[in-house]
Structure 1
Amino acid sequence: MRNLALSLALVIGLASSVLAEDAKPFSDAKEIDLVSLLPTPPANNSPQMQAELAEILTIQVTRTPEMATRAVADADEDVWRFADVIDNPKFTKENLPKFAAFFDRVVATEGAVVDPAKDFWKRPRPHLYSDLVKPIVPLSKSGAYPSGHTTVGTLMGIVLSNMVPEKRTELMARAWEYGHNRIVGGIHYASDVEAGRIAGTVIAETIRTHDDYKAEFEAAKEELRSVLGLSHV
């Protein structure tokens, strides 16, 4: 019976993953061209590059176990990482199907916009630039600039703040921590994170003008506030 339960859990998990990957982005790099919007990343061996590498190496030897745990957990790219701020046991995918489907599209938008910029700049990840860097989060060989995790964290923070304005300050602080944890994890430089925050903000402001976004946002917001027992705003 236990094996059957585990098998069902795996099937459900895989199905959810497929649905998230198949989600249609609200925008793409044709509409939001980060290559023309963001500054060029620091050149290899430049003083800024060396300073950013030094920051990563310093954090590597000074981060606490709690910081490391948070950084590893924030490697997940989903809105449920904001559960600690929402602080409500009903804030789950099972309770919020419309909200979950909407944020699948939000997350998919990040990749559609950011990946071409990463491919254009091809900035080496810290651990590929220096053997001294020992990341504690899953490795990636994609371009480091801009940080996709930071982009989506900022994007999710802004969108979620517009749904729950009562917690805007806390949600945006969490979004900023989410991005900073890419430095703590040893997988990104500070300028990658800064560019990701700009990218996430630009994406949020662009897609909010789309009719399909507006409709799905309102439905997701209504569902979220109803499930959480919040008044309509």
Structure 2
Amino acid sequence: MTRPVAFAAAAAVLTLGAAPLAPVADPSLAHPVATRLTGYLRPDALDGKTILGPPPAIDSPEDKADRAAYQATRALEGSPRWKQAQQDNDLWTGGAQRRLTCAMGRDLAARSLAGTRRLLHRVELDVHTVGTPPKDFYGRLRPPIGDSQPLCVPRGPWLQTNASYPSGHAMTGWAWALILAEIAPAKASALMVAGREIGQSRVVCGVHFPSDVAAGRDLGAAMVARLHADRAFQADLRAAKLELAKAPQPRDCPSA
């Protein structure tokens, strides 16, 4: 993951196997708007490489299971779960935030929740700070490298330049779910299911292996635990609890 170009669209056109690659921004690095915000954590706050350890060794039983999952999920192309995974790809305006909104019963897009969104945004920036070092250190290739099977997102140069382990989407979805579950404990079960499914969508999409997603959840949980020692995070969390207590209910949610 290359931070200076993290939020820029890739300009080059490459080819992986027989599949042409269209220019596309790295979807695992998407964020809501151009920002001067920073995360809460310093780069030395957590050692993600040590926490996770390496990904499954090539041709190990775990690696073979990962690759079998990639092959099996290609059959989901065009299914409702595939379409949901496409929506989850956009963490902010797509299905990911909507999943959490519906699970919580509070509209995270409401104007009154500017402070809550700021907290979630800073946490997402921490995902880059904490998740980038193990991605770069282990350099695991993503599942579709070398073939032309369908993915739920456009193929782009980011598939080669952004390593697979751990999944940033899984880190973000799990961290957000944990934080929101602390704010709204009565909705914790639904929120954690939503956080899990945001990560699982990356497997459905074909851009991560199951072990990448599991590692993302593990590192996301460690990151949230570390965030609780940060005074700025604690203050923002208290403010978010007050905001969300008065937030409107969402519309058009199955459970709303």
* TM-score normalised by length of structure 1: 0.84
Paired position in structure 1 for 2:183: 163
The one-letter code matched in structure 1 to 2:229 is: T
Deviates more, 1:111-120 or 1:59-68: 59-68
% identical aligned pairs: 27
1:25 counterpart = 2:39: yes
TM-fit CA distance, 1:29: 3.6
TM-fit CA distance, 1:93: 4.4
Deviates more, 1:37-46 or 1:147-156: 37-46
TM-fit CA distance, 1:225: 1.1
TM-fit CA distance, 1:103: 1.1
Specify the SS of the correspondent of 1:145.
Answer: coil
Q: Residues 47-196 of structure 1 correspond to what in structure 2 (within 5 A)?
A: 47-62=61-76, 65-78=79-92, 80-81=97-98, 82-88=100-106, 90-128=107-145, 130-131=146-147, 133-139=149-155, 140=158, 141=160, 142-196=162-216
Deviations, residues 180-212 of structure 1 (Å, cap 9, x unaligned): 111011000011011011001000000011111
TM-fit CA distance, 1:83: 1.8
Deviates more, 1:145-154 or 1:28-37: 28-37
Q: Retained in 1: the 8 A contact 2:77–2:152?
A: no
Paired position in structure 2 for 1:5: none
- Runs of 4+ in structure 1 displaced over 6 angstroms? none
Deviates more, 1:59-68 or 1:145-154: 59-68
Specify the SS of the correspondent of 1:227.
Answer: coil
1:38 counterpart = 2:58: no
TM-fit CA distance, 1:138: 4.4
The one-letter code matched in structure 2 to 1:84 is: C
Q: How many residues align?
A: 211
Partner Cα distance (1:145, 1:76) in 2: 19
Partner Cα distance (1:45, 1:183) in 2: 19
The one-letter code matched in structure 2 to 1:58 is: A
Specify the SS of the correspondent of 1:194.
Answer: helix
The gaps in structure 2 that reach 5 residues or longer are: 1-30, 250-256
Deviations, residues 109-160 of structure 1 (Å, cap 9, x unaligned): 10111011101111000011x4154321244330100011001111000001
The one-letter code matched in structure 1 to 2:112 is: N
Deviates more, 1:152-161 or 1:77-86: 77-86
The gaps in structure 1 that reach 5 residues or longer are: 1-14
Specify the SS of the correspondent of 2:111.
Answer: coil
Deviations, residues 38-68 of structure 1 (Å, cap 9, x unaligned): 1210123434222211111111114662101
The one-letter code matched in structure 1 to 2:135 is: K
Partner Cα distance (2:59, 2:153) in 1: 24
Given the superposition, is the C-alpha separation of residues 62 and 92 from structure 1 closer, same or farther in structure 2, using an over 3 Å criterion?
A: closer
Paired position in structure 2 for 1:222: 242
Paired position in structure 2 for 1:12: none
Given the superposition, is the C-alpha separation of residues 62 and 77 from structure 1 closer, same or farther in structure 2, using an over 3 Å criterion?
A: closer
* TM-score normalised by length of structure 2: 0.77
Paired position in structure 1 for 2:19: none
